[in-house]
């Protein structure tokens, strides 16, 4: 029998891999990192690590033996040579089916619920239970939450207004900052009503903090109760109590939901909660409705309400990233050598320098960092102790920061710059800035549809592909348009990179005044990996490029 577990301790002890530190997408997907985390598959004769192929370079760099890994979800690349020697199953479902070879599959209680939903019907599943944890319920007044965010936003508006006062291309943007508009509970109520939900369980950190205005204690969940429009936090036994009186004690989260909700239909984050919690809820009579994407959209469409914080995040990012790469370029031009970790240390110092120089009165912390030299790998990934020297063809720094109040993320950023060292890479990099700012952001205006922006980008690129081939930055062994339609050219942005609203085929969200996001062209070919990405905001009169200095 095939047995699958997601136990992070076992992954670390058996394979030497800390997914949150070593894998890029586990760091980016704050609301769904259990969904993209590696899994251990135990067969009768071996233990294998199941890994999404986009993390192949990171897992190998962390020292995981290639023969102990199996990959799924093929990575999209315009250079098929990168993955030519590494097969990847079409999906986790296909991979598990191959490994199970017609036999049953046991899912440990720690496996994310989304995997159970995907595997159901394709293999015979045996799903494990979790031990119930007693919880205490605490009522949270939504009015207090709104007041907390309003106070933070007042500070954000003052800070961001001061920060961009002398930035000509952002003139007029400060007039769109707000501290009082807050639609979080109105939109949450709407989300629940549209899906006829009696309750919404908010377990993923970005959703918990958005609803409660508090940092999320380990194991805590929030519960939005639709009928009475109440907000309750369920704290595991042994946690520090919240201010205010207890709203009851229960033997488990499932029992609390049964007792507090007015009906059975319960929205759950299928890409966050475990199969153990899902079984606990269903045993207590809950009818589970997946809402991970709906909650991501709930955050995305309100991001303009935190625009001041988004601006601070964007300005911090562009300063730190460009200054770190300028330091690296100066060093290489002087004949020095250093490592990816040295560049990363400068980048982190520049974040701190920005905060100090501009007297930012709240936290600016790293969100994720994709920093690698092309002669190490073309896969995206966090920095390691690899030399950057005269042999380096390009350094890519694609990173974001988090704006933090009392442990709560109120904004994030995501942008990329590169340090090309060959003439072909330099020419391509200059062109990709035109693509991002003219070909992508040039289309972004009220009424634009996400998938149409992607198609327009391919039309913008089309006349220039022959030149990319001529300078060795593109081959003819892959259908460029087919491959690039498999990935986005940007996404909405806010409390994290959005996976609900992307600029890619099939995504029909209509951009409006107040939409905030990133536009990007990642280009990995031959011996060069280039990242070019800028943050944009649709204002009342025009679209701003927030990450242009």
Residue 266: predicted pLDDT: 98
Nearest to 497, CA basis, from 370, 349, 363, 322: 370
% of the chain beyond a pLDDT of 90: 94
The alpha carbon of 525 is separated from its chain's Cα centroid by a whole number of angstroms, namely 24
Query: Radius of gyration over alpha carbons of the chain, in Å?
Result: 24
pLDDT range class, residue 55, cuts 50, 70, 90? very high
184-195 confidence digits (pLDDT tens)? 999 999 999 999
Average pLDDT of 274-284?
Answer: 98
Give the DSSP letter string of 269-334. Answer: -TTTSBHHHHHHHHHTT-EEEE-HHHHHHHHHTTGGGGHHHHHHHHHHHHHHHHHHHHHHHHHHHT
431-463 confidence digits (pLDDT tens)? 999 999 999 999 999 999 999 999 999 999 999
Q: Supply φ then ψ for residue 124, to 5 degrees.
A: -80, 120
The alpha carbon of 220 is separated from its chain's Cα centroid by a whole number of angstroms, namely 21
Residue 20: predicted pLDDT: 85
Residue 243: predicted pLDDT: 80
Q: Who's near 121: CB < 8 A, 6+ residues apart?
A: none
Residue 238 zone, left/alpha/beta (φ > 0; ψ -120 to 50; rest): left
Q: 353 or 243, which is more confident?
A: 353
Integer Cα distance of 80 and 548 in angstroms = 33
Strand partners, 230: 225
Integer Cα distance of 279 and 294 in angstroms = 22
Integer Cα distance of 71 and 92 in angstroms = 8
Average pLDDT of 65-69?
Answer: 95
219-270 confidence digits (pLDDT tens)? 999 999 998 899 999 999 988 888 877 899 999 999 999 999 999 999 999 9
pLDDT range class, residue 324, cuts 50, 70, 90? very high
Residue 534: predicted pLDDT: 98
- Angstrom CA distances, 319 to 42, 182, 221, 312, 395, stand at 46, 30, 36, 11, 17
Residue 238: predicted pLDDT: 87
The yes-or-no verdict on residue 364 having pLDDT over 80 is: yes
196-217 confidence digits (pLDDT tens)? 999 999 999 999 999 999 999 9
Neighbours of 345 (CB within 10 A): 15
Average pLDDT of 333-353?
Answer: 98
Q: Who's near 62: CB < 8 A, 6+ residues apart?
A: 16, 17, 18, 22
Nearest to 279, CA basis, from 123, 122, 110, 136: 110
Nearest to 413, CA basis, from 401, 428, 429: 401
- Angstrom CA distances, 336 to 327, 331, 372, 389, 510, stand at 11, 5, 18, 7, 49
Residue 405: predicted pLDDT: 97
The DSSP letter of residue 337 is -
User: 3-state secondary structure string, 340-387?
Assistant: HHHHHHHHHHHHHHHHHHCCCCCEEEEEEEEEEECCCCCCCCCCCCCE
Q: 244 or 499, which is more confident?
A: 499
Mean pLDDT score across all residues of the chain? 96
Give the DSSP letter string of 412-475. Answer: E--EEEEEE-SHHHHHHHHHHHHIIIIIIGGG-STT-BHHHHHHHHHHHHGGGHHHHHHTTS--
Residue 248 zone, left/alpha/beta (φ > 0; ψ -120 to 50; rest): left
pTM: 0.96
Nearest to 369, CA basis, from 391, 394, 351: 351
Cβ(140)–Cβ(245) below 8 Å: no
The yes-or-no verdict on residue 470 having pLDDT over 90 is: yes
72-85 confidence digits (pLDDT tens)? 999 999 999 999 99
Integer Cα distance of 4 and 115 in angstroms = 11
% of the chain beyond a pLDDT of 70: 100
Residue 21: predicted pLDDT: 86
């Amino acid at each position: 029998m095939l047995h699958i577990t997601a136990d992070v301790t076992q992954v670390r002890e058996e394979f030497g891999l800390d997914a949150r530190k070593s894998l890029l997408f586990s760091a980016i997907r704050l609301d769904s990192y259990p969904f993209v985390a590696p899994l251990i598959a135990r067969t009768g004769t071996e233990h294998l690590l199941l890994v999404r192929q986009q993390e192949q370079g990171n897992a190998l760099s962390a020292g995981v033996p290639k023969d102990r890994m199996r990959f799924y979800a093929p990575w999209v690349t315009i250079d098929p040579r990168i993955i030519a020697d590494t097969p990847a199953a079409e999906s986790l479902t296909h991979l598990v089916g191959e490994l199970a070879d017609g036999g049953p599959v046991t899912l440990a209680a720690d496996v994310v619920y989304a995997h159970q939903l995907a595997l159901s019907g394709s293999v015979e599943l045996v799903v494990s239970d979790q031990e119930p944890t007693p919880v205490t319920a605490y009522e949270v007044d939504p009015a207090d939450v709104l007041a907390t965010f309003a106070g933070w936003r007042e500070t954000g508006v003052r800070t961001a207004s001061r920060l961009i006062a002398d930035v000509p291309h952002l003139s007029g943007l400060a007039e769109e900052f707000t501290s009082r508009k807050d639609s979080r509970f109105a939109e949450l109520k709407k989300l629940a009503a549209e899906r006829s939900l009696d309750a919404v369980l908010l377990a993923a950190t970005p959703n918990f903090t958005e609803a409660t205005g508090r940092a999320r204690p380990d194991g805590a969940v929030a519960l939005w109760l639709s009928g009475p429009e109440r907000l309750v936090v369920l704290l595991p036994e042994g946690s520090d109590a919240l201010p205010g009186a207890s709203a009851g004690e229960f033997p488990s989260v499932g029992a609390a939901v049964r007792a507090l909700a007015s009906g059975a239909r319960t929205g759950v984050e299928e890409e966050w909660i475990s199969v153990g919690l899902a079984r606990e809820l269903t045993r207590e009579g809950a009818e589970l409705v997946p809402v991970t994407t709906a909650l991501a959209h709930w955050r995305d469409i309100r991001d303009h309400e935190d625009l001041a914080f988004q601006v601070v995040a964007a300005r911090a990012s562009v300063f730190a990233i460009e200054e770190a790469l300028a330091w690296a370029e100066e060093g290489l031009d002087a004949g020095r050598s250093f490592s990816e970790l040295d560049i990363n240390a400068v980048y982190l110092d520049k974040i701190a320098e920005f905060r100090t120089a501009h007297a930012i009165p709240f936290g600016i912390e790293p969100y994720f960092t994709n920093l690698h030299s092309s002669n190490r790998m073309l896969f995206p990934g966090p920095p390691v102790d690899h030399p950057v020297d005269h042999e380096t063809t390009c350094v890519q720094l694609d990173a974001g920061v988090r704006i933090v109040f009392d442990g709560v993320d109120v904004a994030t950023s995501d942008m990329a710059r590169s340090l090309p060292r060959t003439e072909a890479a330099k020419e391509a990099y200059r062109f990709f800035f035109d693509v991002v700012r003219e070909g992508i952001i040039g289309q972004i205006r009220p009424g634009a549809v996400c998938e149409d922006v992607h198609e327009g980008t391919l039309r913008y690129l089309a006349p220039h592909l022959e030149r990319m081939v001529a300078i060795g930055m593109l081959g003819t062994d892959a259908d460029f348009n087919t491959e690039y339609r498999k990935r986005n050219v940007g996404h909405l942005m806010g409390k994290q990179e959005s996976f609900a609203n992307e600029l890619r085929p099939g995504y029909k969200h209509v951009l409006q005044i107040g939409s905030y996001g990133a536009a990007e062209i990642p280009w990995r070919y031959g011996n060069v990996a280039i990242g070019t990405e800028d943050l944009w905001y649709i204002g009342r009169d025009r679209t701003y490029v927030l990450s242009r200095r």
